[in-house]
A and B are shown apart, each in its own frame.
Chain A
Amino acid sequence: MTTETQEPQRRNLARPPFYRDVRVIRVVSQLLAVLVVFAIAFWLVNNLISNMNRLGISTSFDFLFGPTNTAIPYHGTFDPRSPVWQMALVGIKNTFLAGFFGVILASVMGLLVGISRLSDNWLVARLATFYVELFRNIPPLVIIIFFGFAVFTFGPFPIFSESWELKVPGSVNNFLIINNDRWGIPGFTATGALVGFWAILIFGVIVAAYVWLRRTKHFERTGQPHHRVLWFTGVVLASLVLAYFLTGQPVDMSWPVISENRRRVDGGFIANWGWMSVTFALGLYTASHLGEIIRGSILAVHQGQSEAGNALALSAFQRYRFVILPQAMRIALPPTINQYLNLVKNTSLGTAVGYAEITALTKTSVGNGRPAFQSFIIVMAVYLTFSLSISLVLNIVNRRLELESR
């Protein structure tokens, strides 16, 4: 019996012919796959270029250096004679602004909603459920249009010339200007060179980071509370004050003022209705998805963790802050990355409310005779860069959070 089974085994040890060798097949099949992909890609690009040549359409990117010739909404300082690539930069900046603030809003709201859905308080839990079901089930474009038109165009706010001007009590300065088009809030303006100011401030942040590490070490050594957030904030604030006075007060408040013809807001930070609509709509929409992710992640943390926290007499806040959320975040992060990517990509819907982000500006530019394919290749590259950057940063965070696999 043993001899019978040994016989075929010995034959298997001999090398099979190359077309049956697993190692060869593996390499060759992958090479073939790559070749096919590249052949198809080459064929498509070749097809495109020959078609464009036949129609006499330019395939070059020279148009980027020609004049833009159109003004950009809510960018009065943009000179229409500037080259097209500068217009694209404005679009990229606007996409970033909507994406960045949208992500912040979505994260804060998402966390609140996710925790609220699990609340023991009946009303809070129901409200959170209502919120999630409402926003999750409406397409983001509809929410953006709703915000743009129901809140601003047809909303309760006055037209520009009749703006509400809310004054700082006991002063002539406005701290808020509200109308259906542009809102103004106080900002800062430079009155001198800022190099020294920034240098001191950056140095301060580095010192603060060092203090943070020292406090952490101190905590690990002695077990005494580290209060590192307080220490960090304190050092940064101190360096801010120091920088301001040492460099001769180079920054001043800039108050928003309505121009004499009541058609401009001068000074301060100005937010236009398109930006507000896109940011709020996408922030709230994404928050409904994030809320669900966070709720699921909290539920995925073993019940015993919460009970252990209870047994240690931790308050509800402490239980979430130190026991549950750190573990839940580890689970929530990968799907959250997706939501952030979606949010940034969805800013392209801002064109519906006239928000001058990169897609809207490119469409205008293409409509005015700039080549569509080259323009949209640039737009794709922009979104790809945004998405890959977000993925990269969050993946690094994810790796830090991940449990060491044993």
Chain B
Amino acid sequence: MKRTKLFAALTALMLILAACTAAEDGGAATTEAAAGGGDGGGAAAGGTLDAVRAADVVVCGVNDGLPGFGVVGADGTYSGFDVDFCRVVAAGVLGDADKVEYKPLTADVRFTSLQSGDIDVLIRNTTWTATRDGQEGASFLFTVFYDGQGMMVPASTGFTTLEDLADANICVLSGTTTELNLTAVFGARGIPFNPVVFEDNAQLRPAYEEGQCEGWTSDSSQLASFKAAIEGEGGDEQFIMAEIISKEPLGPVVSDGDTEWAQAVEWSVMATVQAWEFGLDSGNIGSYSGDNPNILNFLGTDNFDPGLGLSSDFAIQVVTQVGNYKEIFDRHIPAIGLSLEGSPNNIWTDGGLMYVPPYR
């Protein structure tokens, strides 16, 4: 009898404790993360630039499973278009492109990671949207890749329009804008469909290849990279529908509330486009001998300093160590089947959207 009473009392206590902790557990997680970030990455209001300089390393959130944009090689090194822009930031801010610590992140934790100060900058094929800008405490910087969502189907099916996929299973990654666009576009056209949602492309791809899904929707760049991979490994021929169903501007993201750091990252990144526009690349930027005053400013001749908190030769560091935008693009993107010609990623003087403010 005594035991019963004790038990009842314990249960009551547990219930009370549980009710209290339900509201607190979330708190514990964040504060720890924020505290952890304070000494390492340091996303505390302002001061990220100083914190990064003090730590002598840029902590960069990346994708580790997207060919062309961010992959880990067999030897554990990261490479890809997004990864190169992490290197650009390190070269611009610290003068050494190798001073990057990569943090592989899944789509659904990337913003939390940024908010908590776990990473200094997020360059992980992340689409700039109003909701994310407004609600995630994130600042989206210069768009480095203009993408759009497409739909891939096995070529043998002969499907060419979204209507061909009525009622079909469509593979999509969770926690992405892709999922929202898919629902919105199919909903608007009144096409019923069934999403099959995966957390990771490593699980999505076999499901698609084995015919569990009839369509695979994602950013066109991703589809192109997987089309190349599937066909290259002897899989069925794939077809990417001509229709682009969304705008997906991808670029670096930093935490809200630290404009000094945001400027440093943005101008480091934009230097790659400026160099391209000036016709400077990793081979010739060190030996420029002309007298174009804009270029001389850009190269930091006579210690020209616009007050961005970067060293005057940051552009030289960025371009010699990593390359200009076109070099970075050519290194990674044509391999997955996309070209610069005719795409919005071309320089504005050739009809693209790559346009940066003047450096003067």
**In the bound complex, CA of A47 to CA of B37 (Å):** 14
Query: Whose C-beta in chain A lies nearest to the C-beta of B182?
Result: A71
Does A351 sit within 8 A of B, measured CB to CB?
Answer: yes
Q: Is B26 within 8 A of A399, CB to CB?
A: no
B192: contacting residue among A76, A145, A363, CB under 8 A: A76
Query: Whose C-beta in chain A lies nearest to the C-beta of B176?
Result: A367
Does A261 sit within 8 A of B, measured CB to CB?
Answer: yes
**In the bound complex, CA of A353 to CA of B25 (Å):** 27
Query: Whose C-beta in chain A lies nearest to the C-beta of B133?
Result: A369
Q: Is A80 within 8 A of B135, CB to CB?
A: no
Query: Whose C-beta in chain B lies nearest to the C-beta of A356?
Result: B197
Contacts A76-B192, A354-B197, A363-B174 hold; do A380 and B26 have CB atoms under 8 A apart?
Answer: yes
Q: Is B167 within 8 A of A261, CB to CB?
A: yes
With a CB–CB cut-off of 8 A, which chain A residues contact B194? 71, 73-74, 76
Among B52-60, B198-206, B269-277, B311-319, which stretch is in contact with chain A? B198-206
User: Number of contacts between A and B (CB, 8 Å)?
Assistant: 167
Dominant secondary structure of chain B at its interface with chain A: helix
**In the bound complex, CA of A366 to CA of B107 (Å):** 10
**In the bound complex, CA of A392 to CA of B11 (Å):** 9
A364: contacting residue among B23, B108, B135, CB under 8 A: B108
With a CB–CB cut-off of 8 A, which chain A residues contact B30? 47-48, 51-52, 373
**In the bound complex, CA of A145 to CA of B30 (Å):** 30
Does B344 sit within 8 A of A, measured CB to CB?
Answer: no
Contacts A55-B115, A154-B206 hold; do A367 and B195 have CB atoms under 8 A apart?
Answer: no
Does B284 sit within 8 A of A, measured CB to CB?
Answer: no
Q: Mark B161-196, 1 if CB is under 8 A from A, else 0.
A: 000001111000011110110111011000011111
With a CB–CB cut-off of 8 A, which chain A residues contact B20? 41
Contacts A45-B27, A181-B169, A351-B199 hold; do A388 and B18 have CB atoms under 8 A apart?
Answer: yes
Does B233 sit within 8 A of A, measured CB to CB?
Answer: no
Q: Is B167 within 8 A of A405, CB to CB?
A: no
With a CB–CB cut-off of 8 A, which chain A residues contact B244? none
B183: contacting residue among A80, A149, A160, CB under 8 A: A80
Query: Whose C-beta in chain A lies nearest to the C-beta of B25?
Result: A380
The CB with the most chain A CB atoms within 10 A, among B1, B20, B177, B207, is that of B207
Contacts A181-B212, A363-B174 hold; do A373 and B26 have CB atoms under 8 A apart?
Answer: yes
**In the bound complex, CA of A55 to CA of B180 (Å):** 25
Q: Is A364 within 8 A of B4, CB to CB?
A: no
Contacts A69-B180, A377-B25 hold; do A388 and B15 have CB atoms under 8 A apart?
Answer: yes
**In the bound complex, CA of A405 to CA of B1 (Å):** 7
Does B357 sit within 8 A of A, measured CB to CB?
Answer: no
Does A58 sit within 8 A of B, measured CB to CB?
Answer: yes
Q: Is B195 within 8 A of A71, CB to CB?
A: yes
**In the bound complex, CA of A44 to CA of B183 (Å):** 38
Shortest CB–CB separation between residue A288 and chain B, in angstroms? 25
Does B257 sit within 8 A of A, measured CB to CB?
Answer: yes
Does A22 sit within 8 A of B, measured CB to CB?
Answer: no
Does B210 sit within 8 A of A, measured CB to CB?
Answer: yes
A70: contacting residue among B27, B28, B180, B212, CB under 8 A: B180
* Interface of A toward B, CB cutoff 8 Å: 41, 44-45, 47-49, 51-52, 54-58, 69-74, 76, 80, 145, 149, 152-154, 159-160, 180-181, 259, 261, 263-264, 273, 351-354, 356, 360, 363-364, 366-369, 371-374, 376-377, 380-381, 384, 388, 392, 395, 399, 405
* Interface of B toward A, CB cutoff 8 Å: 1, 3-4, 7, 11, 14-15, 18, 20-31, 34, 45, 107-108, 111-112, 115, 129, 131-132, 135-137, 166-169, 174-177, 179-180, 182-184, 186-187, 192-199, 203, 206-207, 210-212, 214, 255-257
> Would you give 23 A-B contacts (Cβ < 8 Å), ordered by A?
A48-B26, A52-B137, A55-B115, A55-B257, A69-B180, A72-B195, A73-B194, A73-B195, A73-B197, A149-B207, A159-B212, A261-B166, A273-B212, A354-B198, A360-B197, A363-B174, A364-B179, A368-B176, A369-B131, A369-B132, A369-B136, A399-B7, A405-B3
20 new A-B contacts at CB < 8 Å, known A48-B30, A69-B184: A47-B34, A48-B31, A49-B27, A54-B45, A55-B256, A56-B137, A70-B195, A71-B195, A80-B187, A149-B203, A152-B212, A160-B212, A180-B210, A364-B174, A373-B26, A377-B23, A377-B25, A380-B22, A380-B26, A395-B11
